[in-house]
Amino acid sequence: MERVDVAIVGGGPAGTSAAEQAAAHGAETVLFEQGVPREDREELGPDSTDAAGMLDYWIDIMDFDYREIPDEVIHRELEATEFIGPSSSVELTTTGIDSSYPNFGYTFHRARMDDWLHERAADAGADLRVGTGVSDLETDLRASSPKGPTHTLTLSNGEQLEAQYVVLADGPQRRITLEALDQFTPPGRSSSDYLSPPEANHIAYQEYREFPPELFEEFEDRLKFWWGHMPGETAYPWIFPNDGTVARVGLTMPIGMTLEDVDNPGSYKLLRPEDEQLPSGSEYIRRLLELEYGDEYDVEEDIPIVEDRGKSKGTETYPISSTRPIDSPVGANIAVAGGAMGTTSAFHEGGYHVAVRSGKIAGRLAGTDSLENYNDVWKRAIGDEILRNVAFADIVADYEPDDWDWAFGVVNDMQGDSGDNVLISNKYTAGLDATKILAKYKKRKFTYRDGGYVQIAEDEYHY
C-alpha cells in the first residue's frame, strides 16, 4: 500500500493551500481532487464556482502579498459596494479595516485563481491527482506509528493509500468530511446535525451576462447587493462586474425553503401574487433584471447569457455553508479546512480568503508534525473575521423588507457623507436606533467570544 505523510481531500483553495505548505515544509504530500469540467477550463479541475470578489483586507487574511497575484486573475478594481433595500440604499467606500491593498477590492476569475494555487502547490513538490476522488476514509486510532493515528483512504479507482495526517478540504458539500467526523462524534449525534441543517445552508446560482456598455459603466467599479427583495435568511441577489462588459448576476437562497414558509410574500419585490411556489434561481435573476433595467432594455436581447463562461453554458450552481465553523479532531491527526469546516458565509458571499488561510495553517502544521495546535492557530488567524460574520448574520436572520430599509436608513445617518463602514469602526452615533444596532452587534460578538462560535469544540470529540 502506498504511504505518504499528508493526504489532502479536495483541490479547492483550502486544499491546494494546504498542499503547498505541507510540501514546502518537507512532507510527502498528495492531494486528491475528483475534478469537474467547466466552459472556461480545458481540463478537469476543482469546482471553481463563486461570485469571486475580494475585499482589501481579505488579501492580508490569505497571507499573500497582493503583488504576487497574477494580473490575469483580476477582472475589475473596485471602489465601493452598494447595498440596495426595497426603498433605500447604502454605499460603502471602505471596509473599515486596515489593509496593505491600496483599493477597496477587486473581482477575479475564480478558475484562474484556483489554477494558480495548483501551480504553487505543484512547484512546492505536492503530488496533485486531479481526476481521482476519495470514496472512504478510515482512521486507526490505535496505530503503532510514533506520530499517532493513521488513516486509510480508499480512492475512486479502488486503490488504497495510508497517510499519517489528513486535511479534509472537500468544500461545503463535505462528501468525505461528514462520515470521517462521525468516527469521533458523541454517540447518538452526527456531524451533519451541526454542518448540514437545511435552515442554515444555502444554494447559490449565477449567470454570466453581457451588458450594454453604457449600462455596465453604472457598476463597473462596485459590487451591488439587493437586500429584502427575496425571502429567506440572508437571501439576496447580486451583480459582480467582470472583464469587458460581462458581469456575474447571481443570488443566494436557503436550501429547502418553500412559499409556505414566507410570512409576507407580498412585501418582496421579486415575488408575484400569482406565484404558487418560490421562483427558480434563473427566474429570480430575470425578475431582478426586469425590475432594475426592464424599462429601457429587453433583458434577454440586450443582456444575454454568455454561454462560453462558467460551469455550464454561462451558468453556475453551487452550495454555500452558512453554519458556524467547527473545531477539528486533531487528536485523530485530522484537520478540516475551508468550506468543509464551515468558514464560508452566506451573509457576505465570501469564503475564499478564510479557506486559503485555514488551508495554509493546516498544511504547515501537518507538514511539521504540529497538527495538535491547529484549532488554536486558525482561531488566532481568522477568528475576528468569523466572529464578525456570525454576529452580523445573527442580527439580520429574521429581517424582512421593512427592516432592511430601517437598517439602511440608520447606517446612512451614522455615516453621513463619509462612506465609512460604521459598524466596524464604531465611531459614529445617530440616536437611539444607531445605539440599538451597535448594541446588538456587540452583544452577539460577546456571546461568541473566546472561540464560542464553534459548533463542535475540540474536547467534544471521542477518541
What is the tens place of the pLDDT at every residue in 132-189? Answer: 999 999 999 998 889 999 999 999 999 999 999 999 999 988 999 999 999 998 787 8
C-alpha distances out from residue 80 to 67, 69, 95, Å = 21, 21, 9
Residues 331 and 300 in one domain: no
- Residue finishing a domain among 319, 343, 378: 319
Mean pLDDT of 113-142: 96
Q: Is the CB of residue 12 less than 8 Å from the CB of residue 20?
A: no
Residue 456 belongs to some domain of the structure: no
Q: Which of 68, 1, 69, 5 is nearest to 31 (CA)?
A: 5
Q: What is the DSSP letter of 103?
A: S
Specify the pLDDT at position 270.
Answer: 98
Cα 14 to Cα 21: distance, rounded to the nearest angstrom = 11
Q: Is the pLDDT of residue 380 over 50?
A: yes
Q: Among 120-129, 157-166, 221-230, 386-395, which stretch is predicted with the lowest mean pLDDT?
A: 386-395
Q: Does residue 74 sit within a domain?
A: no
Q: Are 184 and 205 within one domain?
A: no
Would you tell me the crossing angle of helices 431-447 and 374-396 to the nearest 10 degrees? 150
pTM score, whole prediction = 0.94
The predicted structure's pLDDT at residue 324: 87
Rounded CA-CA distance 131/137 in Å is 18
- pLDDT for the residue 100: 95
**77 within domain boundaries:** no
Same-domain check for residues 210 and 285 = yes
Helices (H), 296-373: 299-302, 352-367
Please give the pLDDT value at position 292. Answer: 97
Q: What is the mean pLDDT of the chain?
A: 91
Output the CA angle 209-212-216, nearest 5 degrees: 75
Q: Given a cut of 90, is residue 131 above it in pLDDT?
A: yes
Last residue of a domain, one of 319, 350, 370: 319
User: Confidence band (pLDDT; 50, 70, 90) for 203?
Assistant: confident
Q: What is the pLDDT of residue 222?
A: 96
Q: Is the pLDDT of residue 330 over 90?
A: yes
CATH number of the CATH domain containing 182: 3.50.50.60
At residue 114, does pLDDT exceed 90?
Answer: yes
Nearest to 14 by CA among 27, 33, 36, 28: 33
Position 154 in a domain:
yes
Task: Identify any residues that bridge with 84 across adjacent strands, giving them in sequence order.
Answer: 89, 226
Does residue 457 lie in a domain region?
no
Q: Are residues 297 and 356 in the same domain?
A: no
pLDDT band, residue 49 (cuts 50/70/90): confident
Mean pLDDT of 349-378: 94
Structural domain contains residue 330: yes
The residue among 286, 319, 352 that closes a domain is 319
Instruction: Determine, yes or no, domain membership for 65.
Output: no
Both 211 and 296 in one domain: the answer is: yes
Instruction: Give the model's pLDDT for residue 428.
Output: 46
The residue ranking higher by pLDDT, 409 or 116, is 116
Whole-number Å distance between alpha carbons of 30 and 18: 10
Percentage with pLDDT > 70 across the chain:
93
Quote the CA–CA distance of 169 and 247 in Å, as a whole number. 29
Lowest mean pLDDT among 280-289, 290-299, 315-324, 425-434: 425-434
331, 362: one domain = yes
d(CA 428, CA 413): 9
Q: What is the pLDDT of residue 350?
A: 66
Total domain count, the chain? 3
**Above 50 in pLDDT, residue 413?**
yes
Residue 70 lies in a domain: no
- Mean pLDDT computed over 76-93: 93
Task: Looking at the structure, tell me whether residues 435 and 378 fall in a common domain.
Answer: no
Model confidence pLDDT, tens digit, residues 414-455: 655 555 565 555 554 455 566 777 788 888 888 998 899 999
Domain that holds residue 439: 396-447
Indicate whether 138 and 236 sit together in one domain: no
Spatial separation of the C-alpha atoms in residues 414 and 249, rounded to whole Å: 30
Sheet strands (E) in 342-416? none
If you search the block for the grid coordinates 454570466, which residue do you land on? 208
Same-domain check for residues 124 and 22: yes
Element (H, E) at 335: strand 334-336
21-32 pLDDT tens trace? 999 999 999 999
Please report the pLDDT score of residue 417 as a whole number.
Answer: 58
Question: Do 207 and 340 fall within a single domain?
Answer: no
Report the pLDDT value the prediction gives residue 165, as an integer from 0 to 100.
Answer: 98
Confidence class for position 328, pLDDT limits 50, 70, 90: very high
Statement to judge: residues 137 and 221 lie in one domain: no
Express each pLDDT in 339-353 by its tens digit.
Answer: 999 887 656 556 899
With contact defined as beta carbons under 8 Å apart, do 44 and 156 qualify? no
Do 39 and 147 lie in one domain? The reply is yes
